[in-house]
Amino acid sequence: MQRLKKMACLLSPSSGKLLTMLIAISGAKNLLEIGALGGYSGICLARGFGRKGNLTSLELEEKYVKLASSNQITWNIVFGLGIRVL
């Protein structure tokens, strides 16, 4: 489990802030993310569009779906998010 937590965030905090800013500036409201992993990038994307957007994340591994969902709930970012196992 420790290894999974360590692998779960490939995005640096500064890159996450950039993603949030780019989505906010662009006005995008519907996003498709390929690979949810730990959910951090999804959280950053969702922060960019707020409650008025929709993010769909596609993930192959069910363990990452559970991890991303758990992290999104922990961060209180569950509106407009959907994670699907392929």
Q: What's the pLDDT at 3?
A: 41
DSSP 84: E
CATH number at residue 68: 3.40.50.150
Q: For every residue of 52-68, which 3-state class applies, written as one string? A: HCEEEEEECCHHHHHHH
- Domain residues for the domain of 52 are 2-6+28-85
Q: Is residue 43 part of a domain?
A: yes
Q: Is residue 23 part of a domain?
A: no
Q: What's the pLDDT at 25?
A: 97
Q: What's the pLDDT at 32?
A: 92
Q: Is residue 71 part of a domain?
A: yes
Q: What's the pLDDT at 7?
A: 44
Q: Is the pTM of this model over 0.85?
A: no
Q: Is residue 14 part of a domain?
A: no
> What total of structural domains would you count in the chain?
1
How many residues are listed for the chain in this entry? 86
Q: Is residue 16 part of a domain?
A: no
pLDDT along the chain (86 residues), means of 10: 49 92 95 88 88 86 85 66 59
Q: Is residue 81 part of a domain?
A: yes
